[in-house]
A and B are shown apart, each in its own frame.
Chain A
């Protein structure tokens, strides 16, 4: 295919040399131009066409040649740029497994289409506009799924599921209902096994130094943080509560101050942004922010927290021994040698941590947010003619032995069973099979071992042995008094989709301005920020929420 360009390149060399000009002159300029035309336009165009069309022709031939009924099912797969050497996301041991075990027996060619993870929505939009999007597409982005449904671009999968997806239905259970928009099953929603959202740990050695117990209420936690600060346990730079402008920092605090529980309150006084519920108008929200304001003004938070959106500084402060209390996304702080806790122990040899529930609500419960049991949205575009095959594919994937293989590989080859749990073999045996298993095994988010306890046990097994018990306990804590969020309406709300980024930005502004204001100015700042939020987006969103709630009642 490079011939055309090679010509152009040579030609360029020639002309730049200048020597060959005489020859060119003799042959005549029309020829020169013609060559140039061919080299640049025709050359590339032709060779391009040939190259571009080749794979398609190949598969067409296969279709008509081998078997008339053989069809191609195109399935999206994320490309995160992390493929091991020698394989790609569209061609690796797992794609071969899918072809051999699902494709061939069903007379289907499964073709994977790589979608760059970071540009998935743009990319899918372009492919949809061109009518060349894969038959099976998926996203975690609820807003995008809603918007495609609203534009009439998705297939109603209800009948296909009834016909081809008994196993799938059985497996997904409740999560399927999250894919119903306005009465139509526009998405198959994957299961989410682990619903814990946030966990907390505190420096045990600091508590010991102060002779203090592990705090169990918000008040005790506050006293403890103050003691950390007063005694400068983290040096001059002690930041008692590792805090960033990120949900894992502010959500655990704010939710513990919320006094309302009813569905009505959650429909009418919270907004959903992305997959998170923000109880912005609920009773107690203000007190939650005010508590953070107090912590900030007493020097218990990182003064630069507003700049730390990616939590990098927060983690750095903790692993370097400057911070005492650390809240995090469940499952992230414990782990292997490069986990947060392991790093802390390495940097600060005396350090030890203990899991805790630092914040309590007005009833003394440790109310905290949790995920809904729904994972990614799997959809079939309306122009696809493969909805039956798509459901067959998901139905096949929902079998226990397929899930097991796609998550862990083959027993004895990639993993061994120890105490009823799969343990990956050392080394890179499974690398080319399992490196993107989470993006291939799309029907579930996490592996279900049958009970909450077993699932915790399994998760803890991925943690260094010395931290296992702690990790298990931390996960147990994360389940306590957890409130699932968000409550979904039976149809997408236009205003919420429209203002999702605006609301998030305004909410962050509200947090930053209110937390950083002086204690005396707090009321004024907070009220002004709420007003700003309401004026820019809130009023419209809450009006629509109210209307939708009334209609649903």
Chain B
């Protein structure tokens, strides 16, 4: 049986030759760099020439309170993104899909993903102009209608909301594209049948559209969970400020802070390795759970 599959399906393996070569050459050949986490890395001696220090780097990281705070905040910010940021593009895609005016639909899709193209450095400056407590545009408007001012940037709990919303604003349009593509794949006959039954729009969304993109949602969710411990540098660093550091200090900024001058590579690699292991466990776990409960997964 196995021989016959291999034989019958040799073309599939041929197709995999180049991709696997790619992964081996570009991803696995340099992977020895991980050993930096166990060495006192000296730029001039190179990776092989640097001295082994065993688990010293990890010990020093795990003994610092700052690391745990950063880890907690990474989960906190990523958790907020998961709860609010993950569903947002799905909802937007469905809303866009329900638009009747073709032209408006096309134009608004394009405009909604504009923020994806603005770099965080520039967004940072704008966020300050828009949200600062005393002279930010939002608070000036709110003042006109007798509300506020709200410390969007200077109180750490308000800041969490600001951080999450800015993230949604920046990524929602872009993120919806993939769901729009998935919605396109839904068999139109299903909608036609529902029309015959006189189903309402919301019912069609609930019973046809959502199940139609279910697999995509689950797979993206699994991937997202695998990224729970990984967080970009720019967004928390640029939107964060001194007053909210209790929440804005995450693993990426932690690496920047403790590693800038000294042993940057060893510490960064060690934290990276930690993140990788947690990430792998998360994604395998999420995949396993998903397989069990929904029979969908990436493996």
Contact = CB atoms under 8 A, between A and B. Distances in A.
* A and B co-occur in one complex: yes
Interface of A: 29, 33, 36-37, 40-41, 125, 128-129, 143-144, 146-148, 151-153, 237, 245, 302-304, 306-310, 312-313, 381-383, 494, 497-498, 500-502, 505, 508-509, 512, 516, 536
A306 B43 contact: no
B57 to A, nearest CB: 13
Contacts of B263: 498
B261 A151 contact: no
Interface string B34-58: 0000000011111100000000000
Interface in B157-199: none
A497 B135 contact: no
Interface stretch (B93-101, B223-231, B252-260, B270-278): B252-260
B134 A304 contact: yes
Given A153-B44, A497-B262, A500-B260, A33 B14 contact: yes
9 contacts: A33-B14, A36-B18, A41-B18, A147-B261, A151-B45, A303-B134, A307-B154, A500-B260, A502-B257
Interface in B57-84: 66
A505 B245 contact: yes
B262 A494 contact: yes
A512 B265 CA distance: 31
Interface of B: 11, 14, 17-18, 21, 42-47, 66, 125, 128, 132-135, 153-154, 241-243, 245, 256-258, 260-265
Contacts of B11: 29
Given A125-B43, A307-B132, 10 more contacts: A37-B18, A125-B264, A143-B261, A152-B42, A237-B135, A306-B242, A307-B154, A307-B243, A313-B132, A497-B261
A307 B261 contact: no
Given A33-B17, A153-B43, A383-B44, A501 B261 contact: yes
A40 B18 contact: yes
Contacts of B153: 307
5 A-B pairs with least C-beta separation = A153-B44, A143-B261, A498-B262, A497-B261, A512-B242
Contacts of B154: 304, 306-307
A146 B261 CA distance: 9
Given A143-B260, A304-B135, A509 B42 contact: no
Contacts of A40: 18
B7 to A, nearest CB: 15
Contacts, number: 92
Contacts of A310: 125
A151 B258 contact: no
Main secondary structure of the interface of A (DSSP, over half): helix
Nearest to A142: B261
Contacts of B17: 33
Nearest to A303: B134
Given A125-B43, A502-B257, A512-B243, A307 B262 contact: no
Given A29-B14, A307-B153, A307-B241, A505 B128 contact: no
A307 B245 contact: no
A500 B261 contact: yes
Contacts of B18: 33, 36-37, 40-41
Contacts of B46: 129
Which among B43, B125, B135 has the greatest number of chain A C-beta atoms within 10 A?
A: B43
Contacts of A383: 44
A255 B21 CA distance: 62
B132 A304 contact: yes
B241 A306 contact: yes
B242 A501 contact: no
Contact of A306 (B21, B45, B125, B243): B243
B125 A312 contact: yes
Nearest to A535: B65
Contact of A501 (B47, B135, B256): B256
A508 B242 contact: yes
Contact of A307 (B21, B66, B128, B260): B128
Contacts of A146: 261
